[in-house]
Amino acid sequence: MDDLKIGCIMDYKNVKTAIIGGGASGLAAAIACSEKLGKGSTVIIERQPRTGRKLLATGNGRCNITNINMSSEHYYGDKSIIDSVLSEFSVEESERFFGGMGIIFRSDGEGRMYPYSNQATTVLDGLRLECERLGVEEICDFLITDVQKKNNVFLISSKTLTVRAKYVVFATGSQASPLLGANGSGYGILSKLGIESSPLFPALSPISTKEKYKNLKGVRTKGKVSLIADEKPLKSVKGEIQFTDYGLSGICVFEISRFVNEFFRLGKICGTSYGKIKISVDVMNEYSYNELYEYLCKCRKIFASYKSDVLLSAALNKKLSQTIARYCGLDSKPCFRLTDSDIKKIVFGVKKFEFTPIITNSYKSAQVSAGGINSDYIDPVTLMSNKIENLFVVGELLDVDGECGGYNLHFAFGSAMIPAKYMK
Ligand SMILES: Cc1cc2nc3c(=O)[nH]c(=O)nc-3n(C[C@H](O)[C@H](O)[C@H](O)COP(=O)(O)OP(=O)(O)OC[C@H]3O[C@@H](n4cnc5c(N)ncnc54)[C@H](O)[C@@H]3O)c2cc1C
């Protein structure tokens, strides 16, 4: 590559492809482009000191890379883009791509796939080494602030660097998890080029609630979390629930959060307007109302001489059992005094433990952003701009977000494979 340094301004010339953003999708896109166009053809420009910082934090440091149950049902957003990417990039394709770097996968038994090493570093090191082997240049510590196209050449600029390229791939991710370096700057640069994003909101985040049960902080249990909008149950997810001092967390709460944040951002959920929402938690979802009623009637006898806050203590975490008895207003009543209608009230407390979500800056702890660049601006097949030839958008910048379980990384890697197919 022919580079000139003028004062502190670096001017890289004659690069075929510039990838903006060295995260999951940027690294994978660079590999695909360099394989297609040859050594020295591709640069990655990353604003942080190193590429792949967020990738290292994925899956609690284990990197949940894909999912055996891959299908469009696990995604939200622009359907044409989702279908197009999934049709090009299956789980087998992912295994083949990473297999080329020596990386093998294993499943956790529930469909989630991780690198065999169980370490996200394996994936990042594999991508970096592959970039090195293919002669991809990484230019770190440069925040791209402007992209222009002049005479069929893209001028991609930071304060002190301009890269000129025939092709540009935007892989700057979203603003989710700023502590891991996300800043959402790609949307602004694209907007200056006339490529607008659909409304953005955080997804896969904890939910802050009006009700604060500080004593429940750290309590984890299995159960079912439901989103109720205008008294109608809209979505239920089973799995681990984690109580916090500010509200609710855990995988099933993360999955509900997308709709809560959409409601706060747009007043709508999946296109329908609603007036008010709440979260209902069922902490004994394997038991029907009748089964639970019978069980609690039995416990009423067993714990007859004790206060009602122990009624659930043989089935639930102690703090949770006390909190639910208090939530029902029955914690100080002796068990033998509980009437049948008190027992019914506790059954409802267990199966409909209700919370009111409140707005917070949930990008801080969100794993992804919903919304983004959609097929109004991008061809879903090529991922190239409809208006600006040779400008591609990949990864989380696109209007696609997946459920927990490896779907977001799968989409980031899958979308990254596409632009190279349309480069010469
Ligand atoms: C804590 C956490 C855990 C997660 N765990 C999982 C998981 O296990 N499985 C899963 O499927 N998904 C997971 N995700 C989601 C997944 O990490 C993202 O969907 C994925 O990283 C998106 O890839 P991307 O390349 O689009 O963006 P990113 O990985 O965010 O990369 C974007 C890169 O662009 C750089 N950049 C941004 N703007 C500029 C600019 N103007 N100039 C230069 N560089 C710029 C950023 O610094 C960053 O390095 C997790 C997310 C978080 C936060």
State pTM to two decimals. 0.94
Is pLDDT larger for residue 357 or for residue 9?
A: 357
When pLDDT is averaged across residues 6-12 and rounded to a whole number, the result is: 55
- CA dist 258 and 73 (Å) reads 15
In degrees, to the nearest 5, what angle opens at C-alpha 181 toward C-alphas 204 and 75?
30
* Closest Cα to atom 52 of ligand 1: 367
**Beta-carbon contacts of residue 115 (< 8 Å; ≥ 6 apart):** 62, 63, 65, 98, 103, 104, 105, 106, 122, 123
Q: What pLDDT sits at residue 236?
A: 96
Q: Please name each of the domains of the chain with its CATH number.
A: 2-200+369-422 (3.50.50.60), 202-279+358-362 (2.40.30), 289-353 (1.10.8)
| CB 172 near ligand 1, within 6 Å | yes
**What is the percentage of the chain residues whose pLDDT exceeds 70?**
97
Q: What is the Å distance from ligand 1's center to 50 Cα? A: 13
> Does 193 score more than 50 pLDDT?
yes
At residue 249 the predicted structure's pLDDT band, cuts being 50, 70 and 90, is: very high
What are 298-352's pLDDT values in tens digits?
A: 999 999 999 999 999 999 999 999 999 999 999 889 999 999 999 999 999 999 9
Q: What pLDDT sits at residue 181?
A: 87
Q: What pLDDT sits at residue 158?
A: 93
- CA dist 173 and 186 (Å) reads 7
Concatenating the DSSP letter of every residue in 226-286 gives: EEEETTEEEEEEEEEEEE-SSEEESHHHHHHHHHHHHHHHHSEETTEE-S-EEEEEETTTT
Tokens of 137: 């240049």
Q: Which residue has the tokens 């490896």?
A: 406
State the average pLDDT for the chain.
95
Q: What pLDDT sits at residue 13?
A: 63
Helices 24-37 and 407-416 pack at an angle, to 10 degrees, of: 30
> Does 3 score more than 50 pLDDT?
no
When pLDDT is averaged across residues 37-46 and rounded to a whole number, the result is: 96
Candidate of 44, 54, 70, 362 to mutate for ligand 1, largest count of ligand atoms within 8 Å of Cβ: 54
Tokens of 38: 């040859």
CB 370 within 8 A of CB 77: yes
> Does 415 score more than 50 pLDDT?
yes
At residue 424 the predicted structure's pLDDT band, cuts being 50, 70 and 90, is: very high
**Beta-carbon contacts of residue 359 (< 8 Å; ≥ 6 apart):** 208, 264
Is the backbone of residue 7 left (phi > 0), alpha (psi -120 to 50) or beta?
Answer: left
Phi, psi of 75 (to 5 degrees): -125, 155
| CB 400 near ligand 1, within 6 Å | no
At residue 359 the predicted structure's pLDDT band, cuts being 50, 70 and 90, is: confident
| CB 325 near ligand 1, within 6 Å | no
Q: Which residue has the tokens 């953003």?
A: 21
| CB 280 near ligand 1, within 6 Å | no
* Closest Cα to atom 13 of ligand 1: 58
When pLDDT is averaged across residues 78-107 and rounded to a whole number, the result is: 98
| CB 144 near ligand 1, within 6 Å | yes
CB 96 within 8 A of CB 68: no
Looking only at the bridges linking them, the beta strands covering 112-115 and 9-20 are unpaired
- CA dist 115 and 104 (Å) reads 6
Give the number of the atom of ligand 1 that is nearest the alpha carbon of residue 396: 26
Q: Count Cβ atoms within 10 A of the Cβ of residue 49 and give its class: 0-12 exposed, 13-18 middle, 19 or more buried.
A: exposed
Q: What pLDDT sits at residue 9?
A: 57
> Does 7 score more than 60 pLDDT?
no
What are 373-401's pLDDT values in tens digits?
A: 999 999 999 999 999 999 999 999 999 99
Q: What pLDDT sits at residue 227?
A: 98
At residue 12 the predicted structure's pLDDT band, cuts being 50, 70 and 90, is: low
Concatenating the DSSP letter of every residue in 93-151 gives: HHHHHHHTTT--EEE-SSSEEEETT--HHHHHHHHHHHHHHTTPEEE-S----EEEEET
Tokens of 176: 């989710």
When pLDDT is averaged across residues 234-239 and rounded to a whole number, the result is: 95
